[in-house]
Chain A
Amino acid sequence: MIKSLRFFIPGIIVLIFSVSCEHATKKEAAADEKGAPEDSLSRKAVIKYARGFSIDYHDHYKLVRVLNNLTGKTDTLQYLLVQRGNPVPAGYPKAQVITIPVRTIIGMSSMHIALADFAEVADRITGLGSLQYVTSPEVRKNIKAGKIAQVGLDGNINKELILSMHPDVLMDMGNPEAGFGRYKTITDGGVPVLLNVEWLETSPLGRAEWVKLMAALVNKEELVNKKFDSLAQDYDKLATLGRGATIKPRVIISMPFKGSWFVPAGESYMAQFLRDAGANYKWSDSKGTGSLALNFETVAPEALMADYWLNVGYVDTKADIAAKDQRFTSFNPFKTDRVYNNNKQVNDIGSNDYWESGAVKPQVILADMIRILHPELLPDHSLMYYKQLK
C-alpha cells in the first residue's frame, strides 16, 4: 500500500503544473505583415507585464533570460538567440544557443500552440507533446496531414524521436530551478530546450506577453508588438470598467474533490482576472502564484453564500455537479443558477480552447467574466469561452 505513496511527489508536480496546461484557435485576421523582413533585428520587443523572462538585444544576437522571481533568484537560465549565419558570441558559457529565426518547433503544452498561432508561425510546429489537445485549425490540419509528430509528455518524452527530428527549438513548461538535468540527452544532442514559466505569471497580460518570446524566436517582433499592444489596450479598458463596478459579487472557483479544494492563490493570474472583473474573491490577498490546497470545510462557508461559481471543471450540466457530490447543491450559486464553466469551446476531440487561444486572448476572457458578473456593464458581449450550466 505504500506503493501509492510513490505517486505523491509526481502527483504534486502534476498538480502545480496543471494549473496552466493546454491548448488555441486561429487569430483575428493577420495584421499587416509587411514589416521587417525575417532576418532583420531592427524591431525590439519591450516587456511590460511579464516577469518571468527578459530579452536583451545585441547587434546580431538576443540574450533571453528566463527568470524565477518566486525565490528571489534571477538569471537561472540563459539563451542566446543568434541570427542564422552569425558566430556565437563569447562570454556566455552557461547559455544555450538557438539559431533564429527558428524554422521548426516542438511544443509541449497547448500554450505553445497559442504562442505560435499568435505570431502566425503555427505551421512551424513539427512536434507536440500530445496530439490530443489541439484546437488551432492550422495545427490540426498539419496533424491530419501527418506533418506533426507526437513526442510524449513529462517523463515519457521520446528523446530519440526528438533528436532525430532535430527541431530548432523545443519548448517545455518547466521550473528554471530544476535546471536542464532531465533534458541533458536532448541538449547534448544539439536541440536547445526553452523552458517557459508563463504559468507563474501573476497577471493575465503577463502570461499572454510570452508571445513576445515566440516573436523573438522568429523575428516577428513588430507584428507581435502591434497585436499585443492592441489586446493590452482592450484589456485595460475592460479592467477599468470591471474594477469600477460598485457591487462586487462574491465568487468561488473550481470544485472540491475528495475533501480537497484547490482555489487560485492571490498572486495567480486567475486572482488578477477576478479583481479586474470586479469580483469579490475571498482568497484575493493570499500569497502564492499557483493554487491553494484548502479543505472542503474552509471553502464551504464561502460557497454557501457566494453569488457566482466559476470554472467548475469537467462538468456540463447542474445534474453533473449534483452527481459529483450532493452537498454541492446547497451552494447558493447552484440554487440561483449562477454556475458558469469555461468549457464552451471544447471541440470534437475534447480539447478546450480556453487553455489554448484563451491564454493569448485575456481580453476576451475578461469580457466574458465581466458579462457574467456585471451583465449591465457589457450588454452586447456574447460569451466566448464561458457558458452557463443548466
Chain B
Amino acid sequence: MVAIPHKKLRLAALLLLLLIVFMLDIAIGSIKIPLRQVFRSIFSLPGENTIGQYIIEKIRIPKAFTAVLAGCGLSVSGLQMQTLFRNPLADPSVLGITAGASLGVAMIMLAGGSIATLDTIKELGISGSWLIIGAACMGAAGIMLLVVSISGSLSDNVMMLIVGIMISTITLSIISIWQYFSAPELIKDYLLWTFGSLGGVTGNQLYILALAVVAGLIISFLSSKLLDALLLGENYARSMGLTTQRARVIIICSTSLLAGSITAFCGPIGFIGIAVPHMARSLFNTSSHRILIPGCCLIGTLLMLSCDIIAHMPGSQTVLPINIITALVGAPAVIWIILRRNNIRGY
C-alpha cells in the first residue's frame, strides 16, 4: 500500500480496474457470446446475431449500469451515515429509508386481495413495474419526511440514530403484519423483491434512477466540507459556524434520495453501505470526504460489479440473489480490514 503514496494515483488505478470489471460483467454470462459480438453491441454497430445483441443490449448493459449506480449510491450514503452518526455500523438502512421503500412495495404487492385499491391506481395509468417503483419512492419519502421532522427537534445525533432505528423497526413490523395476513403467492413475489436484484431496471427506469443517484451524489459531494466538520465533533462544527441541524437535514435528504431510489428500483441491497466506506478509509488512509466520496463510488461500483459477476456464476444458468453475494463478499472484506489495521479509522 505504501508503494503508491499518491491518492490520485490510487483513484486512477481503481478507475482502470473498474473499467475492466465493467467490461467483464458485460462479456461474461450464461450464454456464450463471442467478444466481437459483445463489442459490436456495445458500440451499437450492426450485429450479426440478433439474440446476442438482445442479450447484450437489453439485459447485460442495463444490468451493469444499474450495478454502477447502486454501487456508487449505496456506498456514498453509507459513508454519510457513518460520518453523521460517527458510528462504524451505520448504513443507509439505519434511518428507516429502505424499510420505508419496502413498506411501499409491500402495500402494492401484498394488496392483491383488495383489488379495488389496485384498480383505482391502475386508472391513473400506472401499472406493473412503475407502480412498484412509485410506491417504493413514496414509502421512502414518507419515512424520510418523518425522520427529518423529528430530527429538527433533536439536538444529538446519537438520539437521531436511535430514533432512526426505531422507525425502521416499526416499519418492518408493519410489513410483517401485512405478510402474516397475505396469501403465499403474493408473499413469494414480495420475498423475491427483498432479495434485491440488478436485473429488473430497464429503459426509461434506468434514466430516472441515474438522475436520482447523480443528484444525490452531487448534493453529497457539495457537502463534503460539512461532513469533514461533523467528523470533528458537533461542538467543533458549531464553533465553525455550522448549524448542525441544517447539515443533518441536507445529509439525510441526499441519503434518502440515494438509498430510497436504489431500493425502489433494485430492492434492498445490503452490506455495500457498511463495508465500502471502511474499505475506502483504509485504502486512501484519509478522513477527507473530498477523497472518500469518489473513493467510495469507485470501490462500491467495483464491488457491486464483481458481486454481480459472482451472482451469475459464469457457466451456470442460474442467478443468486445479489443480497447474499454482497454480504458474503462484504463481511470477510471488513473483517480483513479490521484485522489488518486493528482499528477503525475516522471517528
Separation of A260 and B323 alpha carbons in the complex (Å): 14
A298 touching B54, Cβ below 8 Å: no
Q: Given A11-B192, A259-B319, A325-B129: A297 and B29 within 8 A (CB)?
A: yes
Which residue of chain B has its CB nearest to the CB of A302? B51
What range describes how many residues of A lie at the interface? 35 or more
User: Whole-angstrom distance from the CB of A284 to the nearest CB of chain B?
Assistant: 15
Separation of A15 and B189 alpha carbons in the complex (Å): 9
Interface segment, one of A1-9, A77-85, A237-245, A377-385: A1-9
Interface segment, one of B155-163, B198-206, B213-221: B198-206
B128 within 8 A of A: yes
Task: Determine the main DSSP class of A at the interface with B.
Answer: helix
Interface segment, one of B55-63, B225-233, B283-291: B55-63
Most chain A CB neighbours (cut-off 10 Å) among B29, B172, B180, B199: B199
Question: Which of A3, A293, A350 makes the CB contact (< 8 A) with B113?
Answer: A350
Interface string of A312-344 (1 = CB under 8 A from B): 001000011011111100100000000000000
Interface string of B105-148 (1 = CB under 8 A from A): 00000001101000000000001111000000000000000000
B317 touching A295, Cβ below 8 Å: yes
Q: Which residues of B contact A325 (CB under 8 A)?
A: 128-129, 200, 202
B198 touching A259, Cβ below 8 Å: yes
Which residue of chain B has its CB nearest to the CB of A326? B203
Separation of A314 and B128 alpha carbons in the complex (Å): 10
B237 within 8 A of A: no
Q: Given A11-B191, A259-B63, A297-B60: A323 and B200 within 8 A (CB)?
A: no
A258 within 8 A of B: yes
Q: Which residues of A contact B199 (CB under 8 A)?
A: 258-260, 295-296
User: Whole-angstrom distance from the CB of A326 to the nearest CB of chain B?
Assistant: 5
User: Whole-angstrom distance from the CB of A258 to the nearest CB of chain B?
Assistant: 4
B277 within 8 A of A: no
Q: Given A1-B93, A18-B184: A330 and B58 within 8 A (CB)?
A: yes
Separation of A296 and B63 alpha carbons in the complex (Å): 11
Separation of A8 and B325 alpha carbons in the complex (Å): 12
A92 within 8 A of B: no
Q: Which residues of A contact B319 (CB under 8 A)?
A: 259-260, 293-296
A18 touching B188, Cβ below 8 Å: yes
Q: Given A11-B191, A325-B200: A298 and B274 within 8 A (CB)?
A: no
B317 touching A3, Cβ below 8 Å: no
B194 within 8 A of A: yes
A301 within 8 A of B: yes
Q: Which residues of A contact B93 (CB under 8 A)?
A: 1, 3
A156 within 8 A of B: yes
A183 within 8 A of B: no
Interface segment, one of B15-23, B239-247, B265-273, B337-345: B265-273
B200 touching A258, Cβ below 8 Å: yes
Q: Which residues of A contact B113 (CB under 8 A)?
A: 132, 350
A130 within 8 A of B: yes
Question: Which of A1, A18, A153 makes the CB contact (< 8 A) with B98?
Answer: A1
A7 touching B191, Cβ below 8 Å: yes
Separation of A18 and B203 alpha carbons in the complex (Å): 31
Separation of A296 and B308 alpha carbons in the complex (Å): 14
Separation of A350 and B324 alpha carbons in the complex (Å): 34
B192 touching A260, Cβ below 8 Å: yes
Q: Given A5-B324, A295-B199, A327-B202: A258 and B115 within 8 A (CB)?
A: no
B129 touching A7, Cβ below 8 Å: no
Residues of A participating in the B interface, judged by any CB pair closer than 8 Å: 1-5, 7-8, 10-11, 14-15, 17-18, 21-22, 130, 132-133, 153-154, 156, 257-260, 292-298, 300-301, 304-305, 314, 319-320, 322-327, 330, 350
A2-B327, A260-B319, A350-B112 given; 8 more Cβ-contact pairs under 8 Å: A1-B323, A8-B324, A22-B185, A259-B63, A294-B318, A300-B58, A314-B112, A325-B128
Shortest Cβ-Cβ A-B pairs, 4 listed: A259-B199, A323-B128, A1-B270, A258-B197
